[in-house]
Structure 1
């Protein structure tokens, strides 16, 4: 997912950098022009990782990015596992009662979807895991409403 909604944005929204690079005769960013020195030859901070980044990226942001991703994976996996166990427990309780067969089946299907979400969340697919968690809980709720 690139985050771009569509390719035909209005001219007022586009940045100057993308308008400049829309033509084929202009060099692409990062591409060396013929006869140019190697990248970083004129940049004294190219070999120094502590030098100020000209693009405005803060090196400390990269440090927190790993922690945020790890926290998102643990949250998705933990929530998926918890909802899976809750769905299976509800399916077993409804199976022993006098509820129609659709109710425990809906709980079991919702638990399976939440289990898949936990698996995807542990592998880093947290957006998909979030949507699967929502879908799994909705399946359980629809099954509960049919009781």
Structure 2
């Protein structure tokens, strides 16, 4: 007695595996047929209604324009707010006994933010963002000298 199990598969098990393979093949064929029918239906819809595609394209362009408009307003508004804050801080530091470098830094940062406002209103929103960051950093650096 060697202790090895029989290598023959049970006939019932063999039939079950073959049936599973047939089912899988049938499922794959049905999936491919469904995909082909979907593609054919899409092509038929496109052929029947080309105006719908044009209308979708117009709506997409309108959405892009609205998004760009919102970005311009955001950049311009943020730049204007930071410019006013920097100028107010510069004027407040001028009235107190602070080194001259402090109000100059606030005014310089406000000038950079004002430039960002102009760029943002013209649609250069990425450059405006970086200028806003630079302007606030200049103001923060000036605050460190106080």
Q: Please report the TM-score for the alignment, with normalisation by the length of structure 2.
A: 0.62
> Residues 5-44 of structure 1 correspond to what in structure 2 (within 5 A)?
none
Deviations 1:77-128 (A, max 9, x none): 1110110000000000001101111100000000000000000000111010
Instruction: Tell me which residue corresponds to 2:92.
Output: 93
> Which residue number corresponds to residue 123 of structure 1?
122
**How big is the shift at 1:50?**
2.4
Q: Which residue of 2 aligns with 1:63?
A: 62
Instruction: Give 1 or 2: higher helix fraction.
Output: 2
Q: Which runs of 5+ in 1 are unaligned?
A: 1-44
TM-score (norm 1): 0.62
Question: In the alignment, which residue of structure 1 is the partner of 2:75?
Answer: 76
Shift in CA distance, 51/91, structure 1 to aligned 2, threshold 3 Å: same
Structure 1 residue runs of 4 or more that deviate by more than 3 Å after TM superposition: none
How many residues are treated as equivalent by the alignment? 98
**Computing the radius of gyration over CA atoms, which structure comes out larger, 1 or 2?**
2
Structure 1 residues 51 and 136: alpha-carbon distance in aligned structure 2, compared to 1, 3 A threshold: same
**How many Å apart are 1:146 and its aligned residue?**
1.3
| Cα separation, 2, equivalents of 1:122 and 1:52 | 32
